[in-house]
Structure 1
Amino acid sequence: MTPADLSRTVLHAVRRAVDEDALRAPVPARVRVERTRPGGSGDYACAVALQLAGPAGLPARGVAEILRERVVGAPGIGRVEITGPGFLNFTIDAPADGAARVREVLAQGIRYGWGAECAGQVHQLHHRREVRAAVLAGAVAKLLRAQGALVRVTCEEAPDPDWARLGVTVDAYGHPPTPLTEVRPVPAGAMAGELLERLGADATRWGLLRAAGHDRAALGDELLVQGEGNGLFHVRYAHARARALTREGARLGLTGAYGAESDAPALHAALADHPGVLAAAARHRAPDRLARHLETVANAFFDFHDTCPPLPVGDEKPSAAHRSRLALAEAAGTVLAGGLSLLGISAPEHL
């Protein structure tokens, strides 16, 4: 269970309590959960009971107990405690969650992490005739649609014909009269044709999206270096390596099936965080959050790959541990492919 999953679970409990008239208070738009501080109880803590106590006219611990009754037993939650003046503390059912998460990734494929964070919302993204603004607006539109929103993208003027080679589409151009959200990052300082000629489509998109919109985009030749210092190469190499493991496993008659728990906490955490990252990237219109997260997944994958080889080494015989590791590697590759797809960047099977 990710922090975003837990937040939605607690929010659902609040709604249930209000619907059942057990709690008379306004339902908040969202519920915040945080990692428990050192010395605290459980994995996550939530102060929503303290927030609702005043409007409900009840002690915070009483509100916490009402919510606890509606959260206990939810999938992925092992234990719920009430501490201090009324904090809810959650212990996540980690072993079952790790296996369930890998299976969820493999079942959902590259759409893993898509959700309903923005369901029912309608957005019109409007940008000037500038390549970074166009690429950013298109990536934000993909992220919002992956969270259930309806999105229209418009430009101040007729699009640059070279934008099509970057996968950019515009629904209309001109000055629409309807309410809109302007996308105005720091300009790239170059035209699309120039960037495409020098870097190609994938490196250009990564360079334009990797930096936050208020920062200048790094668009130098380092985007073409095949080395660990190049985030784009590192992410795509991790994806290609994960796919190569699947192919080699098939050649050995070994298929991924997550059963035995793998000692890869960083990779498990990165996969679990993916839905929350997608939701936050859409909510804040920040594809750079996704790009940085993909680098985190890639780093965790290589650490796992080096310490827990997914395939037998030397005279080792294939085992349940290898099948679990292979499934985890496949899940990592799937998350990387899905994230790159939302950024409009290809994920080659071979590098």
Structure 2
Amino acid sequence: MTPEDLSRIIVDTLAALQAEGALSLADGLPSTVTVERPRQKGHGDYATNVALQLAKKAGSNPRAFAELVAARLGDAEGVAGVEVAGPGFLNITVDAGAQGTVAADIVSAGETYGASDAFAGERINLEFVSANPTGPLHLGGVRWAAVGDALGRIFTMTGADVTREYYFNDHGAQIDRFSGSLLASARQRPVPEDGYGGQYIHDIAAAVVEKRPEVLELDDEAAREVFREVGVDMMFAEIKQSLHDFGVDFDVFFHEDDLHRSGAVGRAIERLTELGNTYVEDGATWLATEKFGDDKDRVIIKSDGKGAYLSGDLAYYLDKRERGFDRCFIMLGADHHGYVARMMAMCAAFGDQPHVNLEILIGQMVNLLRDGEPLRMSKRAGTVVTIDDLVEAIGVDASRYALARYHSDSPIDIDLDLWSRASNDNPVYTVQYAHARVSSLMRNAADLGVEATSHPALLAHEKEGELLRSLAEFPRVVKAAAELREPHRVARYLEGLAGTYHRFYDSCRVLPRGDEETSDLHRARLLLVDATRIVLANGLGLLGVTAPERM
């Protein structure tokens, strides 16, 4: 029995009591009630505060309401007992047979276990990373690669139609600085004052010259354009390859230049003008964002007729909405906190709902530590640590897990020594080792000819119950991770599940020893082990981390 199953039973109990006239809820019956695992042992298998929430609406006090529900709920199929605690909490003990069916349900569902329709019918655009192609992908972008891709997987598992999008800024001054740096390298000149340094600049400049040797015969202006055209493509191809090797692929690469060439900026401003949200002052066109919560109005077309930075954002957001996306996510670095209010005001100016049609997630800084000291320099990039530096140090799996394990709005320190260690203080090793251990047990069972079969009533041991309840939590964890935009919840759940499995294994013999005859209890426990394998694999898959069968 899952928490969702028990929630339905409680709602049915309330419906029966209301139909009999034993209680009357002024606002009608709830569609669901909150059911949670109690924090303390001895408080049953599950707990609910439904009486505290509904008693006032029923014209009752919480404890009397709880006692009324408890008397009826105790007779429900699969419920072994109900206790009223404190001011009106219900502590519920589930029949072992009802709880034991969870294992069979998980094995039957397989890769789909944990899925739901929480976001069914919604088209979601996830824009993340979007680093300018002026150098290798640095740690801030790598964090969003791990978190954004995991969030996409979680949204997909909860029913959404997800598009991963990379916004390619090929229209700004940074590209000019990048092409100028390549030119300087090719001409063997010093790095420009506002340019980019690092070995990668020399590598790409040399590659451009090899591909287009005539570039050295051109004047600086013409040569700069060649370095822009070819060098940016080379740098972007390298970023794409690094992301692909990291397990992150995008559905759409959107070029900022396309917005300006297609007239999308003008169409966006025209739409906002029709809505009465622009005005002209001092020769410039302004967007009236202050009335939508921004600290001031914003210039969108400067007095010289050129688009301000925000003009591209207007066009890009409208383009996404016109492509049919219900929710548009933008994932930004910590230095963009001040950017949120104007973007939400822009969303409202289009007649949309801020934080619904548009959501902005902020990712804080990532620091790498080696021997307790910050790692600040890359061999190749010079001034920043890159995706390749991180992967070289601890591998793709540990990198993705470490970056997705924490709330994205919290700064994190990644201890390279810890995350490369094959020990239980390494979180990704702990979870992957649990999966490998489970897989090994399943192989041993196959060698012995022991088949997993369902005998739910036999799974009555305390540690079996703990493992079953932990497995039953997975769908709710996935749903919460989607609703709260917090993939780290999946990682923390998996670590708890790994510990619960090890305690079960240490207390409950799964396979027969020696000449011992295989019993139905062995088969039932093997089914529970297989269910654990599935949940560990599904959870790791949501984080883009492999589930090894051997370690």
TM-score of the pair, normalised by structure 2: 0.55
- Is residue 182 from structure 1 mapped to residue 262 from structure 2 by the alignment? no
Q: CA deviation at 1:214?
A: 2.6
Contact 1:76 1:94 in 2 (8 A): yes
What aligned pairs does 1:310-325 form with structure 2 within 5 A after superposition?
310-325=510-525
The amino acid across from 1:108 in the alignment is A
Q: Any stretches of 5+ residues in structure 2 without a counterpart? A: 131-140, 170-235, 257-315, 322-356, 368-384
Q: CA deviation at 1:81?
A: 7.0
What aligned pairs does 1:209-220 form with structure 2 within 5 A after superposition?
209-215=404-410, 216=412, 218=414, 220=416
Contact 2:84 2:91 in 1 (8 A): no
Cα distance in 1, alignment partners of residues 20 and 484 from structure 2: 33
Cα distance in 2, alignment partners of residues 20 and 262 from structure 1: 35
Cα distance in 1, alignment partners of residues 52 and 483 from structure 2: 26
What aligned pairs does 1:170-249 form with structure 2 within 5 A after superposition?
170-172=250-252, 173=254, 175-177=316-318, 178=321, 179-188=357-366, 190-215=385-410, 216=412, 218=414, 220-249=416-445
Counterpart position of 2:48: 46
Deviations 1:238-264 (A, max 9, x none): 111211111111111111224232522
Cα distance in 1, alignment partners of residues 446 and 460 from structure 2: 20
The amino acid across from 1:180 in the alignment is L
Cα distance in 2, alignment partners of residues 201 and 183 from structure 1: 23
Deviates more, 1:13-22 or 1:296-305: 13-22
Q: CA deviation at 1:132?
A: 0.8
Deviations 1:57-115 (A, max 9, x none): x4367977997899777664445677887x47353423013320111111111321222
- Is residue 291 from structure 1 mapped to residue 491 from structure 2 by the alignment? yes
Counterpart position of 1:93: 94
Contact 2:127 2:167 in 1 (8 A): yes
Cα distance in 2, alignment partners of residues 334 and 176 from structure 1: 39
Q: Percent identity?
A: 33
Cα distance in 2, alignment partners of residues 137 and 248 from structure 1: 38
- Computed over aligned residues only, the root mean square deviation of the Cα atoms, in angstroms, reads 3.6
Cα distance in 1, alignment partners of residues 531 and 91 from structure 2: 26
Deviates more, 1:186-195 or 1:22-31: 22-31
Contact 1:167 1:344 in 2 (8 A): yes
What aligned pairs does 1:1-351 form with structure 2 within 5 A after superposition?
1-7=1-7, 9-10=9-10, 23-25=25-27, 31-34=33-36, 43-52=45-54, 54=56, 58-59=59-60, 76-79=78-81, 87=88, 89=90, 91-129=92-130, 130-157=141-168, 160-161=239-240, 162-172=242-252, 173=254, 175-177=316-318, 178=321, 179-188=357-366, 190-215=385-410, 216=412, 218=414, 220-259=416-455, 260-261=458-459, 263=461, 264=463, 265-351=465-551
Cα distance in 1, alignment partners of residues 96 and 359 from structure 2: 43
Contact 2:541 2:547 in 1 (8 A): yes
Q: CA deviation at 1:293?
A: 1.3
In the superposition, relative to structure 1, how do residues 184 and 133 fare at CA in structure 2: closer, same or farther (>3 Å)?
farther
Partner SS state of residue 168, structure 1: coil
Cα distance in 1, alignment partners of residues 250 and 20 from structure 2: 46
Cα distance in 2, alignment partners of residues 235 and 38 from structure 1: 24
The amino acid across from 1:237 in the alignment is Y
Q: CA deviation at 1:139?
A: 0.7
TM-score of the pair, normalised by structure 1: 0.82
Cα distance in 2, alignment partners of residues 7 and 170 from structure 1: 38
Contact 1:65 1:82 in 2 (8 A): yes
Rg bigger for which structure?
2
